[in-house]
Amino acid sequence: MKQLGVIILILCCTNHLFAQFENAGWIFISHKQSLSEKLDIRADFQLRSADKLSYLSGILLRGALSYNLNKQNSIALGYAYLGSWEYEQDFKTSSGEQRIFEQYLNQHSFGEIEGSLRLRLEQRFMQEGGETNFSQRGRIFLSAQIPILANEDFSKGIYTGLQDEFFMNLQKKENVNGSFFDQNRLFASLGYRWNKKIDTEFGYMYWRQKEEAGIINRNIWQLMITTSF
């Protein structure tokens, strides 16, 4: 009976969570192409849905040239474009954002666990209603991939992924939401490594974002495909 009560409580809390939050889906494809021992090209492609998967609401395109300082550390310079749109009855509104960004990436291992730390600085040019506003944002990203049922060198098998990313407005915050805090994304996933070059993950993201009207909470279900050649 106690177990049944716990299950009911969990279901009720989950029901409340999904009723109160927006619920959306993302598809995220990330690729690294090695040019030489020192140079890589990094590219990301992302599709985002609106609440309840009702329509496609955003597309992100991002690319960068990365320089490897050594096997664990790299720096990069890149460009990104985010296009977003919303439908209200038969009325459609759209906005676009162009970014230049600088990045530092550290990749490391703790035994079989693979971890990464990424610091990114973005110069954002946000276009809406015929106007372009500028702001500068910092991002701190931490992640870990923990093998569950994998071979000895973790070149194939099942793993769990954990990551968190914190966004902060560093300059012209009045052009965003008037706050130092911009957003936070906490993500947990279950993945399969096909080989050292291809990973596939599916998981849940808790996305908390500060807007002028207040805090927006979102449940995001995300499919990730990561390749490296």
pLDDT in tens, 168-227: 999 999 999 999 999 999 999 999 999 999 999 999 999 999 998 889 999 999 999 999
Return the half-sphere exposure (C-beta side, CA atoms, 13 A cut-off) of residue 139: 19
Q: Give the DSSP per-residue string, 195-209.
A: ETTEEEEEEEEEEEE
Under the banding of pLDDT at 50, 70 and 90, the label for residue 140 is very high
How do residues 98-113 score in pLDDT, each as one tens digit? 999 999 999 999 889 9
Q: How confident is the model at residue 24, as a pLDDT?
A: 94
Region of residue 5 (phi > 0: left; psi between -120 and 50: alpha; otherwise: beta) = alpha
Instruction: Give the DSSP H or E segment for 224.
Output: strand 214-228
Residue 38: DSSP 8-state = S
Q: Where are the beta strands (DSSP E) in 111-197?
A: 113-128, 131-150, 157-171, 181-195
* pTM, to two decimals: 0.86
